[in-house]
Structure 1
Amino acid sequence: MRERTLLVVGHGMVAQRLLERLVARDDHPYTRIEVLSAEAVPAYNRVLLSSVLAGEASLDAITLQPRGWFDAQNIRLHAETPVTAVDPQRRIVSARGQDFSYDDLVIATGARPAPLKLAGEDLDGVFTFRDVRDTEKLLAMSQLHRRAVVIGGGFLGLEAAEGLRQQGMTVTVIHRSSHLLNRQLDATAGRLLEEALEARGIHSITGETPRGIVGQRRVRAVELSDETLISTDLVVLAAGITPNADLARDAGIACKRGIQVDRQLRTSLPNIYALGECCQLGEQTFGLVEPGYQQADVLARALCGETATFEPSQVATRLKISGIPIFSCGQAKPGPDTESVIWQDHESARYCHLLLRDNRLAGAVLFGETQDGPWYFDQLQQQRDLSAHRQQLAFGAAYCDA
């Protein structure tokens, strides 16, 4: 067999999953695997960066594989080697003055924070929260200052807010939608989350859009659309992401918002694949890690010659923000063809909202008590007829089984 080289551009959680799936097989076709990473450290669990920011975990604790693992698997990891160009005709990638040849190329460049285009975004004291470097900067700032504003009330924004709160900062979250986590929670659960965070010291302003960030050289305040000024020492921008598709676009690969792929993760050019946050299937992009893992599993099989296709599936969201359990899957808000089954305990701030379509689960939102979340997710995936359990459904698996 002739030598065959796989080149992976980007080394996040999804790229690492692909590597692990490939080297676990005896039949993978590569005599050489090289990884070009813009970061200084091997892939880490990005989801746990908030724990590092909060002081609950170290970088070593969230690193997915130690450096020795790559040597043992005959993988060459090039850290701090950002790619500047891809030449599909010559099958060469340029990075830091070097050219790297490939037989197959996988682009896994992830995403970057979406620019908000606010006046003052370039002031000192304005940060994003996407990687280890961002986390280290925020940790250093939290030791020097006491007030922070986080723009964005999604997962990333709330995780940043909680981490800064645990570092002793007074935190205000600004979110343009009517309630926090508006993509995962309904209005009631969003309000309960806001109240619970307020009790822990995180103040939320919802339904407001920042007009600009105020300061001369460094940030002093955030101005809202109603001209209210919120004084602050630092600002974290966490309101959405943009796929890193520029490298592929410049190489002549078809892109829309992300790099266009088919269900085998193939791009428009031969022997070039993309996966994770940087890719787009049809009109869908992928901001969560679970679809990226599914893509990595499919691509590992495809690179080994198997017939494998990526079919985006339902994803359940389960997390704890400031110790508050939250679970969401499927549809989060009622539609014209859904029925709602709601259970709420006001004293303990527990809440369950189930959405049914033709007596089958279409979605579930749980707040405060989430142990039945996986059971609801199973009902959603299997689309079981729940007619016999309508009276007990909101109380969970044990009541339905009984």
Structure 2
Amino acid sequence: METTSTRCANTDHLVIIGNGMAGHRLVEVLLKQPRRPSRITVIGAEPIPAYNRILLSPLLAAELDEDALTLHDADWYRRHGVELILGEQVERLDRTQRRLTTHSGRILDYDRLVLATGSRPAMPPVPGIELEGVQGFRDMQDTARLTAAAERGGRAIVVGGGLLGLEAAEGLRKQGHGKHGMAVTVLQRGERLMNRQLDATSAELLRSELTKRGLEVLTGARLAAIENNGQGKVAGVALEDGRRLPADCVVVAAGITPNAELGRSAGLTVELGINVDDTLTTSDPYVHALGECCEFQGTTYGLVEPIWRQAEVLAARLSGTKASAYFDLPSATKLKVSGISLYAFGPTEATDDHEVLSYHDPEQGDYRRLLLQEGRIVGAVLYGDTACGPWYFEQSLAGTNLNACRQALLFGQADSQALLDSQTSSDYSKEVA
């Protein structure tokens, strides 16, 4: 009797719906496996091959060319025996027949299917959200429209003071600088920028720097409506406190919504995202999902690190090799705005259970705050000099007791590691004795 894993590795037709970063990463990892599905087809809704969406912000800021974002061109897929179909949206999924149909009428049968359909901006349910000039910031087409808007000048409102909103705002400001000029205002519902990652001090440092650059930042600003100019285009925004701000374009960067509609219409178990188990398998054993469209144990995804680990787990399963189970790990946050270095992970607020270590040099613009619990780092915020950030995160993941280097923790990795190594050596000597 043929096992599922052998059949999958040697004879199956694997179809991947989605040619974004998650789908592309899965293909890359599959090609490195000792065995792989005998036929792989990738379907992408966009008309261009996969590109690095993380670099959309520097592209908008005119710091990169479009070519710098391309992960692999179409010829790369051909050389590796992968069929690439671009510019087609899958509209129907028949799980009984294991068959899908695209908007052009193309029909494909599959043995295994992977949904990597990504996400879209979460649009607030306010009047005027459908007006011309309101958009998200998720793909190359969005970036092209925002670039054109910046070149025309005028006023832009960015809704969302998180990572993506700040990157979009700074990109618009830089793109419009020296041309017709674009005034950019950021609206943040909370009382501080990046409130999920930063404490009050680091958030204020960030706000101060962005304000110096020419951005207007309004915190505690809740969007009530987007106003119509009478011709179906944006004229401005209204806030819940009664203020009205003029605008020529509105960029919504206040979270994402998984593209789970295809899975839902096919009868898969879907909550916010398409539910998967620790092998990235949906409620249908022949259908898998990964990336921003999936949901695992109540968690959905928007950062690269967990999605890369999902790709490793799923590629092993699809290749018939032994796969470890997927599980969530903490992730660190880095802001991609030129001239600003920021690194953070863990809780933003200290509790009675935390020991707080902090360092602030206003003249140099450096700030570091560590949260420790029983000698172990559980959270950190670094602004300015972030060189130690990855080391702190590594120690946090490892659960390393840092009491031996506590006095040096805020002032450098080298000194801290030297003290740790010295303590380890001393402990070993005592054991030998």
Name the TM tier (shorter chain): over 0.9
Cα deviation for residue 331 of structure 1 reads: 2.3
- 2:430 corresponds to: none
User: 1:149 pairs with 152, 157, 165, which one?
Assistant: 157
- 1:302 corresponds to: 317
1:1-400 maps to which residues of 2 (within 5 A)?
A: 3-28=11-36, 30-95=37-102, 96-167=104-175, 168=177, 169-215=182-228, 216=230, 217-305=232-320, 306-400=322-416
CA distance 1:13–1:248, change in 2 (3 Å): same
Q: Which structure is larger by alpha-carbon Rg, 1 or 2?
A: 2
Query: Structure 2: which 5+ residue stretches go unaligned?
Result: 1-6, 420-433
The two structures, once aligned, show a CA RMSD in angstroms of: 1.3
Higher share of residues assigned helix: 2
Contact 1:352 1:366 in 2 (8 A): yes
Contact 1:330 1:380 in 2 (8 A): no
Distance between the aligned counterparts of 2:323 and 2:25, measured in 1? 19
Contact 2:167 2:336 in 1 (8 A): no
Cα deviation for residue 3 of structure 1 reads: 3.7
Residues 220-276 of structure 1 show CA distances to partners (whole Å, capped at 9, x for unaligned) of 111111111111211101100011111101101001110100000000012100000
Cα deviation for residue 41 of structure 1 reads: 0.7
Contact 1:245 1:259 in 2 (8 A): yes
Query: Identity, % of aligned pairs?
Result: 44
Distance between the aligned counterparts of 1:393 and 1:208, measured in 2? 37
Cα deviation for residue 313 of structure 1 reads: 1.2
- What is the identity, as a one-letter code, of the residue corresponding to 2:169? A
TM-score norm. by structure 1 comes to 0.97
Cα deviation for residue 146 of structure 1 reads: 2.4
Q: Secondary structure at the match of 1:391?
A: helix
Distance between the aligned counterparts of 1:246 and 1:399, measured in 2? 52
- What is the identity, as a one-letter code, of the residue corresponding to 1:178? E
Query: Structure 1: which 5+ residue stretches go unaligned?
Result: none
Distance between the aligned counterparts of 2:147 and 2:123, measured in 1? 22
Q: Secondary structure at the match of 1:398?
A: helix
Q: Secondary structure at the match of 1:180?
A: coil
Mean Cα deviation higher: 195-204 or 300-309: 300-309
Cα deviation for residue 133 of structure 1 reads: 0.7
Contact 2:99 2:109 in 1 (8 A): yes
Cα deviation for residue 322 of structure 1 reads: 3.9
Cα deviation for residue 42 of structure 1 reads: 0.8
Residues 2-54 of structure 1 show CA distances to partners (whole Å, capped at 9, x for unaligned) of 742000001111111100111122311x2211111110111110010111111
Aligned residues: 401
Cα deviation for residue 307 of structure 1 reads: 2.8
Q: Secondary structure at the match of 2:358?
A: strand
TM-score norm. by structure 2 comes to 0.90
Distance between the aligned counterparts of 1:41 and 1:335, measured in 2? 48
Q: Secondary structure at the match of 2:359?
A: strand
Runs ≥4 in structure 1, deviation > 3 angstroms?
A: none
Contact 1:299 1:308 in 2 (8 A): no
Q: Secondary structure at the match of 1:321?
A: coil
Higher share of residues assigned strand: 1
- What is the identity, as a one-letter code, of the residue corresponding to 1:233? D
Cα deviation for residue 130 of structure 1 reads: 0.5
CA distance 1:22–1:173, change in 2 (3 Å): same
Cα deviation for residue 398 of structure 1 reads: 2.7
Cα deviation for residue 394 of structure 1 reads: 1.5
Contact 1:338 1:355 in 2 (8 A): yes
Q: Secondary structure at the match of 2:377?
A: strand
- What is the identity, as a one-letter code, of the residue corresponding to 1:296? A
Cα deviation for residue 311 of structure 1 reads: 1.6
Contact 1:176 1:209 in 2 (8 A): yes
Q: Secondary structure at the match of 1:109?
A: coil
